[in-house]
């Protein structure tokens, strides 16, 4: 009994270390295990990952599909506000409609017991913001790739009539192990249809992160997709120089710098940055939207051309630039699924903890021995969601090959028998 009580106490202490005050927590259902936070519909809430804007981010587990998910749950103080709920639901709708490798995938959006939530893929890795805190200046190749991937994703969003309005390092995720960029948090998404936006946005309101927002967004003026282009320029500036393009001791100083000052030259702060990349960054940071590149697609293409020239020069001279901050010695890398990633950024998965090990409830389906022999990779069990394994294909190919050899051998034997018979007949005559 004492040992059981101690285990229960340890579990409660572990949960307490990972939650906020109860008044600030969504009213989840009773947890299935002492170390968990609760239940939200069909999702088990394992732990809190962070907070931002109107929602808390939680690590969840969907038992039916046996997968981890990231759950963005609207906090109680905002859930009572209908306008806030509408904006929250619009984020889910906008993100769910955007299908791109560099945009986080939305699985589900619903409301349970008055708690709105969004379920999305649980990404391993780190945000670009966290990475830059440890590595203030990235390699040029990495800046080109992250910029291209972000702009490729934004090009799709803009064509769908959606502006993100809050592009910044903390909303760009570097997926482990090679740092593939994914855009997060469409919480400030803006419909480019004036009739849709008029219902939710008050004229003159400043919405976004001041350090990365465009001058027109800081003024509360009418904005379009080109505000995202300015924000990406600010991100590339920080990646290339380790500094923000516009700085101030307080919000007012920052907004004044944003509206009236020009950033220091990128090449002045980092001479290793190529002049064409520096010129593009400064053009993206133009005060007047008309002076910026007009589409994200145009920027992605320009960054790709720069990366191609850099790759060609490296392969021709057999000298690949190195960065003290990150490994820039390999021009390409491959994900676990075999996808090629140029100029990889090495990012480690999140550390495992006691909360990450889940005891699944309910019976697991056991595959027949014949199927299991071909579908497992040296393990004793397999899940229904696993794709067909390569050994099945290999076995079929081996069977086809063996059958061909078998029939060829039979043919040769018959030919030899026929030849011997013919020779014997001639000899006996």
Torsion of CA 284, 286, 288, 291, to 10 degrees: -60
Among all chains, which residue has been given the structure tokens 């078998």? 406
- Joined together, the tokens standing for residue 364 give 């697991």
Q: Which residues, at least 6 apart from 60, have a Cβ–Cβ distance to it below 8 Å? A: 40, 43, 44, 45, 46, 68, 69, 70, 71, 119, 122
Nearest to 285 by CA among 262, 253, 260: 262
Question: What's the DSSP call for residue 340?
Answer: E
3-class SS of residue 78: helix
- Where are the extended beta strands (E) located within 106-201? 106-112, 115-121, 125-127, 162-163, 172-175, 180-183, 190-191
Residue 376 parent element (H or E): none
3-class SS of residue 208: coil
3-class SS of residue 236: helix
3-class SS of residue 332: strand
Among all chains, which residue has been given the structure tokens 């910029």? 147
Distances (CA, A) of 188 to 224, 285, 386: 13, 21, 36
Catalytic residues: 166
- Give the whole-angstrom CA distance, residue 30 versus residue 44: 10
Torsion of CA 53, 55, 61, 64, to 10 degrees: -120
3-class SS of residue 213: coil
Q: Is 287 annotated as a binding residue?
A: no
Known binding residues are 72
- Binding-site entries for ATP: 72
């Amino acid at each position: 009994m004492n040992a059981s009580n101690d285990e229960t106490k340890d579990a409660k202490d572990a949960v307490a270390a990972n939650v906020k005050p109860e008044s600030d927590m969504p009213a989840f259902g009773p947890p299935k295990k002492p170390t968990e936070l609760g239940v939200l519909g069909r999702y088990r809430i394992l732990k809190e990952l962070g907070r931002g804007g109107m929602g808390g981010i939680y690590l969840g587990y969907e038992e039916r599909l046996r997968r981890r998910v990231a759950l963005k749950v609207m906090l109680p103080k905002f859930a009572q506000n209908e306008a806030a709920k509408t904006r929250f639901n619009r984020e889910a709708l906008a993100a769910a409609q955007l299908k791109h490798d560099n945009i986080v995938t939305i699985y589900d959006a619903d409301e349970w017991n008055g708690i709105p939530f969004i379920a999305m893929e649980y990404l391993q890795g780190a945000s670009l913001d966290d990475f830059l805190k440890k590595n203030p200046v990235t390699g040029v190749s990495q800046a080109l790739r992250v910029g291209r991937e972000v702009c490729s994703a934004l090009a799709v969003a803009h064509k769908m009539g959606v502006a993100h309005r809050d592009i910044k390092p903390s909303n760009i995720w570097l997926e482990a192990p090679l740092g593939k960029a994914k855009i997060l948090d469409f919480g400030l998404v803006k419909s480019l249809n004036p009739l849709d936006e008029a219902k939710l946005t008050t004229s003159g309101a400043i919405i976004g992160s001041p350090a990365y927002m465009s001058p027109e967004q800081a003024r509360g003026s009418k904005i379009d997709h080109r505000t995202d282009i300015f924000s990406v320029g600010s991100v590339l500036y920080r990646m290339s120089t380790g500094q923000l393009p516009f700085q101030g001791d307080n919000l007012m100083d920052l907004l004044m710098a944003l509206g009236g000052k020009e950033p220091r030259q990128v090449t002045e702060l980092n001479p290793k940055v190529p002049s064409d990349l520096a010129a593009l960054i400064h053009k993206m940071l133009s005060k007047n939207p008309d002076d910026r590149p007009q589409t994200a697609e145009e920027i992605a293409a320009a960054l790709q051309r720069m990366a191609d020239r850099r790759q060609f020069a490296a392969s021709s001279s057999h000298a690949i630039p190195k960065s003290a901050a990150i490994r820039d010695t390999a021009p390409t890398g491959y994900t676990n699924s075999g996808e090629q990633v140029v100029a990889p950024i090495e990012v480690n998965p999140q550390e495992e903890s006691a909360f990450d090990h889940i005891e699944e409830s309910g019976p697991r389906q056991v595959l027949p021995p014949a199927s299991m022999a071909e579908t497992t990779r040296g393990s004793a069990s397999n899940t229904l969601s696993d794709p067909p394994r390569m050994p099945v294909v290999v076995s079929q190919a081996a069977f086809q090959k063996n059958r061909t050899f078998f029939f060829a051998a039979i043919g040769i034997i018959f030919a030899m028998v026929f030849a011997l018979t013919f020779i014997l007949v001639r000899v006996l005559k």
